[in-house]
Amino acid sequence: MQKSTTLPVAGRSRHFYKVKDSAIGYLFLLPFLFFYAVFSLYPMVQGFVISFFKWNITGAKTFVGIANYAKLFQDPVFWKALTNTLVYVFVSTPIFMLGSLILALIVDSKMLRGKTFVRSTFFLPNILAVSITAVIWLNIFQPYTGLMNAATHALGVKNEIFWLSNLSLVWPSIILVTFWWNTGYYMLIYLAGLQEIPVEQYEAASIDGATGFQRIWRITVPCLKRTHLLVLFLQVIASFKIFGQVFLITEGGPGGASRTLLQYIYETGFTTFQMGQASAASFILLAIILIVSLFQLKIMNKQED
Amino acid sequence: MEKTNKKFYTEWLFNLLTYGLCILWLVPIVWMAVVTFKPESVDVTKVSNWFQPPFTLENVKAVLNHPQADVFRWIANSAIISTITTCGVLLICTLAAFAFSRISFRGKNILFIVIMAGMMIPREATLVPLYTLFQSTGMLNTRFSLIAPSLAAPFAIIILKNFFDGLPNALFEAAQIDGCGWFRTCFGIAAPLSKSALSSLAILVFMQSWNDFLWPFISITKPELVTIPVGLPVFRSQYLTGMGLTMAAGALLAAPIILVFIVFQKNIVKGIASAGIKG
């Protein structure tokens, strides 16, 4: 891990150099450590502390022990938000992974003309800010005036579909938006993985007479194991934190059917100012992401051995 | 001969389908542009109407003349905050990554582990304490409050450290023998040789900052500091008018970044791929 950093310089003792190195090392790290400690570590600890207090931001803090957590677990709104988020993670992840893999295979194909254009096109939505994406799709999903219903009418569906106020359609709609918005990013990660597969693998396969699909299934997919894991965990962690597009398109509706965990945190913390309870919910989110990350670390390290 | 024919048609079909998918992918953005320039009376769900007159600039004018929406200020704010954040991350993380890669000091390994563990702390889970921290120090509603929380980015250290680790040792040894100080070694030798990693990182950080929604949405209440992601929803909540206005606002706010993307698409696409795989 470490390269040669202590240099044998004539005439000076090793000890002197080490001391000097330490000072310089810390000096180089100082700006990072300052911002890291103040804006990452301190808030994490402080958040954990606040989660044991009742506090409405203006008044005094009163210690309530685990009451915030108890209240949280008795709150049906919290459970709904948590299950909404969990279901979204489990349903959307395979769709996004498969989608981005397929797009990557398409833009990596030797048959494709104008690769740069096609790659850029699939990636383009990714550069749009979440509120721009939300405005576009909000209008697309609008009944009577939106594109979505114009398309379904053209396909022969007679009645108006209320994409965003229908309980069973609101999540598929959100998944569609997120798919359009984010898949390009994961496509690029897959693409980088694809380009690391040695060409000899494919040559051997074509000598053995493997067809295109066999080649993908037997060589490409297994060779991408590390990339699958990377995309999987990036995706899962991002999905647990889903908020912007849902909040801006549905505002959590209809009737809380699309409220996410992060929206719950936002609402308890910044619209009703129950800071203690919002911190408790934040800690649950933190714990979930920590567990997923540790899991990722373990699996990815195992892969490397 | 027959085989080449078959290959030709497969290739043709493959490209046709792919470009069809591309068009489908672009429809939402194209439609936003179309709605922007169409009067309210035109049925914009009919593709046949899209590229034919009548066109109008009314929606764009309405956005620009809006009393509560200052789109140019939003764009400027986003640009300023994203640029400072990007420069800050590059500077701070180059220093830190260089220290981890090339300088030996006490407690290095444990510090590295602590910082990497920080990658697992999602900002989304520390909103309440972050808010109260800025509030209690009177720094809420400042540019600093939008920039500072993003500066210490552990993933940037990983990307840069990996790159610095891969640079030839002889270079640094020569620099030391020539009496080149650590700062000059870092910014005069290591950084210029890592242009590709630095530019990938810059793109990634800039995009993240440009699209940052939740934190500014919660913390910014001064109209002078509103950024694009936070400003745009104002149109929706305050003016439930037709879609022309919201789409025109969206198009105006999307235009600068789309232009930047078109110009630098090759670098951006390459940069994301190389940074993503390491991060």
* Interface contact flag, B92 A35, Cβ < 8 Å: yes
Query: Which chain B residues have a beta carbon less than 8 Å from that of A135?
Result: 32, 232, 235-236, 246-247, 249-250
**Residue of B103, B165, B229 with shortest CB distance to A21:** B103
The residue of A40, A122, A245 whose CB has the most chain B CBs within 10 angstroms, and thus the best one to mutate to test that interface, is A40
Task: Identify the pLDDT of residue A6.
Answer: 44
- Cβ separation B272–A5 shorter than 8 A: no
Share of chain A above pLDDT 70, in %: 93
**Interatomic CA distance for residues B43 and A109, integer angstroms:** 39
What does pTM read for this prediction? 0.89
Instruction: Please return the burial class of A196, using the count of CB atoms within 10 Å of its CB with bins 0-12, 13-18 and 19+.
Output: exposed
Residues 58-97 of A with CB under 8 A from B: none
pLDDT average, residue stretch A200-224:
80
Cα of A83 to nearest chain B Cα, Å: 18
Longest dimension (CA), chain A: 89
Q: Over 80: is that where the pLDDT of A249 sits? A: yes
- In the stretch 154-173 of chain A, residues with CB closer than 8 A to chain B read none
Using the predicted structure, report yes or no on whether residue A5 has a pLDDT greater than 50.
no
Question: What's the first-to-final CA gap in chain B, in angstroms?
Answer: 48
pLDDT for residue A121: 95
- Give Cα A71 to chain centroid, integer Å: 28
What is the SS3 assignment for A24? helix
**In terms of Cα–Cα distance, which of A282, A297, A284, A277 is closest to A75?**
A277
CA distance A213 to A300: 27
Per-residue pLDDT at A144 exceeds 90: no
* Structure-token pair, residue A26: 């810390």
Across the interface, which of A33, A188, A270 has its CB nearest the CB of B276?
A188
- Residues within 8 A of B (CB atoms), A 216-245 only: 227, 230, 237, 241, 243-244
**CB distance from A270 to chain B under 8 Å?**
yes
Q: Which residue has the tokens 């009919």?
A: B46
pLDDT digits (tens, 9 = 90+) for B47-90: 888 888 888 898 899 888 887 788 889 999 999 999 999 999 99
Chain A neighbors of B214, CB-CB under 8 A: 243-244, 262, 266
Q: What is the pLDDT of residue A23?
A: 86
What pLDDT score does A91 carry? 97
Distance in angstroms (rounded) separating the CA atoms of residues B116 and A204: 40
The amino acid sitting at B225 is L
One DSSP character per residue, A103-162 reads HHHHHH-TT-SSHHHHHHHHHGGGGS-HHHHHHHHHHHH-TTTSHHHHHHHHTT--SPP-
Which residues neighbour A301 within 8 Å (Cβ) at sequence distance 6 or greater? none
Residue A225 has pLDDT above 50, yes or no: yes
pLDDT-derived band of residue B200, with 50, 70 and 90 as boundaries? confident
**Are the beta carbons of B144 and A38 closer than 8 angstroms?**
no
Angle between helices A67-74 and A275-304 (to 10 degrees): 80
Cross-chain residue pair A275–B132, CB shorter than 8 Å = yes
Q: Out of B115, B173, B269, name the one closest to residue A123 (CB).
A: B269
CA B51 to chain A, closest CA, distance in angstroms equals 16
Among A212, A193, A201, smallest CA distance to A110 is for A212
pLDDT tens for A34-84 read 999 999 999 999 999 999 999 988 888 889 989 999 999 999 999 999 999
Alpha carbon distances (Å) from B22 to A119, A190, A280, A287? 9, 18, 44, 39
The Cα of B271 is separated from the nearest Cα of chain A by a number of Å equal to 10
**A193 contacts in chain B (CB < 8 Å):** 277
Q: What is the pLDDT of residue A69?
A: 95
Of A135, A237, A275, the CB nearest to B232: A135
Measuring CA to CA, how many Å separate A163 from each of A84, A172, B201?
17, 9, 38
Task: Kindly determine whether residue A44 and residue B229, on different chains, have CB atoms separated by under 8 Å.
Answer: no
Average confidence score pLDDT of chain A:
88
Judging contacts by C-beta atoms under 8 Å, the chain B residues touching residue A237 are 122
Q: Give φ, ψ of A293 to 5 degrees.
A: -65, -40
Give how far Cα B9 sits from Cα of A109, A213, B5, B16, B22, Å: 15, 17, 6, 10, 20
Contact A277/B at CB under 8 A: no
B3 versus B203: which is more confidently predicted? B203
**Residue B240 one-letter amino acid:** L
Residue A241 has pLDDT above 60, yes or no: yes
ipTM: 0.89
B15 with B240: CB under 8 angstroms? no
Q: pLDDT at position B3, please?
A: 65
The answer to whether the beta carbons of residues A143 and A162 sit under 8 Å apart is yes
Specify whether the CB–CB gap between A17 and B104 falls below 8 A: no
Q: Which of B126, B230, B276 sits opposite A282 (nearest CB)?
A: B126
Contact A118 B133 (CB under 8 A): no
Q: Measure the CA angle with vertex B208, ends A225 and B234; round to 5°.
A: 130
Is residue A134 within 8 Å of B233, Cβ to Cβ?
Answer: yes
Q: How confident is the model at residue A12 (pLDDT cuts 50, 70, 90)?
A: very low
Q: What's the whole-number mean pLDDT along residues B217-243?
A: 81
Query: Nearest residue on chain A to B181, judged by CA atoms?
Result: A24
Q: Given its phi and psi angles, is residue B139 left (phi above 0), alpha (psi -120 to 50 degrees) or beta?
A: alpha
Indicate if the pLDDT at residue B279 is higher than 50.
Answer: no
Q: State the Cα–Cα distance between residues B157 and B57, nearest whole angstrom.
A: 47
Helix (H, G, I), strand (E, B) or coil at B138: coil
What is the average per-residue pLDDT within B136-152?
93
Q: Kindly list the residues from chain B whose CB atom is less than 8 angstroms away from the CB atom of residue A42.
A: 129, 133
Residues in A 195-214 with any Cβ partner in B closer than 8 A = none
Question: Residue A260 has what pLDDT?
Answer: 95
Q: Does A295 touch chain B (CB under 8 A)?
A: no
Mean pLDDT throughout B120-140?
Answer: 91
CA distances from B189 to A18, B92, B98, B243 (A): 22, 17, 11, 53
Residue A157 CB: number of other CB atoms within 10 A? 11
Q: Does A279 touch chain B (CB under 8 A)?
A: yes
Whether chain B has a CB inside 8 Å of the CB on A176: the answer is no
Judged on CB neighbours under 10 Å (0-12, 13-18, 19+), A254 is middle
- Residue B238, pLDDT above cutoff 60: no
What is the predicted pLDDT for the residue at B237? 56
